Amino acid sequence: MGKHGILRTLACSAVLLSAASAWSIELHGRSSTQLEWYNNYFDNNKQVELGQYLNISLTKIDPAGKLSLEGYGRLTQDIRNGEGLQGRLYYLYADYHDLFNKVDIRLGRQFVNYSAGSALIDGAKIDLKNIGPVALSVMGGRNVIYDLYNERTHEGDYALGVSAYLYNLQNTDLELSWFHKLIKDDVAQDILGASGKQYLFNSLKLYGNTRYDLASEVFGEVLAGVSWFPLDNLIFTTEWYQSYPTFDATSIYSVFAVDRYQEWVVKADYRINKMFSVNGGYTRQDYGEGTSDVVELGVGVRPIEPLRIHLNYDYVSGYDGKRNGAGIDADYDLLHNLQLAAGYRYDVDKYDATTGEVVGRSYYGGATYKLNKKMSFSGRIENNVNSFYKEDWRGRVAFNLDF
């Protein structure tokens, strides 16, 4: 949606706000006014943007409280380079739940996520439930696509999907779904998906998901994992993940040969006491043409109640070079309404045998100040120093109003 559509949407929201004062409608949401500056990596220009973000939720529109309206969008203006007013509507939909105690209906711009695929659509999603242990969901509509600045959806861009999932089972989740995407009326994606998790013995969780591309006849993604928590403060996790990059059938990239990627992960998190916690993990990455080993270690320290410190270290060696990196992050509750944060990161990379070591550093500072329960200020500033930039300053300040 372009800037004029965003302006019309915000104007309609203002009308709804006026109606809310006359009716018994409940209005909630957040307005966030932000000033952001950063280097645009596409043209290497410094950008300074002023943005207005608005999130609204209207409930109790009908006497039964089944109808609600949800919306979220933004308007931004680059005040340095004069690129013009940019608008983006993330979602705006009406939601009616428990029709005949069996049907949920959602109409409008919305994000839909099935195990087979996800899309931002202008359309409908309907769920049929309370008909047994299995519920059904169907969705479809215009597929909304954004580029860096504007919406670039074409005529004939649609997304469709169907899902069946277990309903109201305490320790078991399972979903099977189908996702279908059209670009200019040509089939771009046709995918089957499944996801699930199972809790056992109050200390074990099995989980996984997969996607099968019908057009390419390959499993695009497979994930299988186990989490074991023998104690309340101790968790062990192991995962296997595989991906085979697939592209839209309408894309020129669909004819290019790609390699299958796999990784095996083992990690543990242990909260020793209120003051100390530790975590560690090992990942074996297989890129098809080579492998890499990744080791990650972390320590959390809380020497006093308002101060939290986290130290981390990672080591990478193999196909994508070598890295030694370490960082520190800290949060401090200076007052009940003022929180401070700061961090520093130091990395030494060596990409191959012909290059020397490349040092990268980054550091940041931030703060959040709450004026009251509904109003707050927040800010963050960061600088990156690496082989591309001697300095790369970026930051954001925001005024947030909850209502």
pLDDT digits (tens, 9 = 90+) for 155-202: 999 999 999 999 989 899 999 999 999 999 899 999 999 999 999 999
Look at residue 73 and tell me whether its pLDDT is greater than 50. yes
Q: Is residue 396 within 8 Å of 382, Cβ to Cβ?
A: no
The token duo for 300 is 């959390």
Residue given tokens 């960061």 in the structure block: 382
Going by the DSSP 8-state scheme, the letter that residue 151 receives in this structure is B
Higher pLDDT, 236 or 245: 236
Q: What is the CATH number of domain 259-403?
A: 2.40.160.40
β-bridge partners, 270: 234, 278
- What lies within 8 Å, CB to CB, of 293 at 6+ separation is 282, 283, 284, 285, 315, 316, 317, 318
Determine the Cα–Cα distance for residues 22 and 228; give it in Å rounded to an integer: 53
Domain residue spans of the chain: 259-403
Q: What is the mean pLDDT of the chain?
A: 90
Residue 4 in this model has a pLDDT that exceeds 70: no
pTM comes to: 0.82
Give the pLDDT band of residue 10 (cuts 50, 70, 90). very low
Other residues' Cβ atoms within 10 Å of the Cβ of residue 120: 21
- Say whether pLDDT at 20 is over 80: no
